[in-house]
Amino acid sequence: MPLRKDNLIVYPGTFDPLTLGHLDLLERASGLFAHVVLAVAGSSSKIGAMFPCEERIEMAREVAAPLGNVSVERLDGLLVDFCHERGARVVLRGLRAFSDFEYEFQMALTNRKLAPDIETLFMMPREDQSYVSSSSVREIAAYAGDTSKFVPPTVQLHIERLVVLRRLSQHH
């Protein structure tokens, strides 16, 4: 049976790295929609990227593999164009705290101006994941702290490898 275009959702982000909060939203969206496209931003205005885009895509594919109805794609350009190219009419955005709301609300209104046919769906992660952010994980990892409580096991392996490589480069 072909997928109905109205039963496809795009979940965009940098996912640098993908956290348990992201995974929670991804799992819940995969239960609500026939197909979820996890759109990994190729470039970002965010400073201090931990992983290159190709590795973020690889990690996302590893994490999403058990879900079955999730695909991972690179996002370059405008999100609304990405959605139109795939026939998606819904974008998923996560809200952890009230501080996220202003930015996300502004982006949703901007996207609505650009593409009135695309809706933004806001979801909150589980309470025990609501404080986790990629930036806090990056900061903990920068000091070789334990990030395992904040990221899926496959992502943790990538972080551990990166921490080891940083230590080796500092000693040479």
pLDDT level of residue 1 (50, 70, 90 thresholds) = very low
pLDDT at res. 168: 73
DSSP state at residue 126:
-
Percentage of the chain with pLDDT > 90? 76
Residue 93 contacts residue 120 (beta carbons within 8 Å): yes
Domain tally for the chain? Answer: 1
Q: Assess whether 5 carries a catalytic annotation.
A: no
5, 46, 126, 149: which is the annotated catalytic residue?
A: 46
Residue 2 clears pLDDT 70, i.e. is over it:
no
| Domain annotation covers residue 55 | yes
Q: Would you say residue 2 lies in a domain?
A: no
Cα 95 to Cα 130: distance, rounded to the nearest angstrom: 8
Is 1 a member of any domain?
Answer: no
Residue ranges in the chain assigned as alpha helix (H)? 20-32, 53-64, 79-86, 98-114, 134-142, 153-170
Confidence class for position 3, pLDDT limits 50, 70, 90: very low
Residue 15 is assigned to a structural domain of this protein: yes
pLDDT at residue 163, as a whole number: 84
Among 61, 86, 89, 96, the one annotated catalytic: 96
- Residue 171: band (very low, low, confident or very high) from pLDDT cuts 50, 70, 90: low
Give me the CATH number covering residue 22: 3.40.50.620
- Give yes or no: 46 in active site: yes
Give percent of the chain with pLDDT exceeding 70: 93
pLDDT at 139: 93
Helix (H, G, I), strand (E, B) or coil at 119: strand
The whole-angstrom separation of Cα 149 and Cα 161 is 17
Among left, alpha and beta (phi > 0; psi -120 to 50; other), residue 87 is: left
Confidence at residue 46, expressed as pLDDT on a 0 to 100 scale: 58
Predicted confidence at residue 172, as pLDDT, reads 61
DSSP code, position 2: P
112 is catalytic: no
Task: Tell me which of 14 and 169 has the higher pLDDT.
Answer: 14
Q: Residues 22, 35, 138, 158: which is the catalytic one?
A: 22
Q: How does pLDDT run across 152-165, given as a tens digit for each residue? A: 999 999 999 988 87
Domain ranges, residue 124: 7-170
State the burial class of residue 67 (Cβ atoms within 10 Å of its Cβ: 0-12, 13-18, 19+): middle
At 59, list the tokens: 């990690």
CB atoms within 10 A of CB 94: 22
Domain contains 132 = yes
Catalytic-role residue among 30, 93, 134, 158: 134
Span 16-26, average pLDDT: 96
Q: Is the CB of residue 57 less than 8 Å from the CB of residue 24?
A: no
**Tens-digit pLDDT profile for residues 45-97:** 555 789 999 999 999 999 999 999 999 999 999 999 999 999 999 999 999 87
* Strands lying side by side in the sheet with 8-13: 70-75, 35-41, 8-13, 90-94, 119-123
Report yes or no on whether pTM surpasses 0.95. Answer: no
Residue 85 lies in a domain: yes
158 annotated active-site: no
pLDDT band of 122, cuts 50, 70, 90: very high
- Tell whether the torsion through CA atoms of 57, 61, 62 and 67 is positive or negative: positive
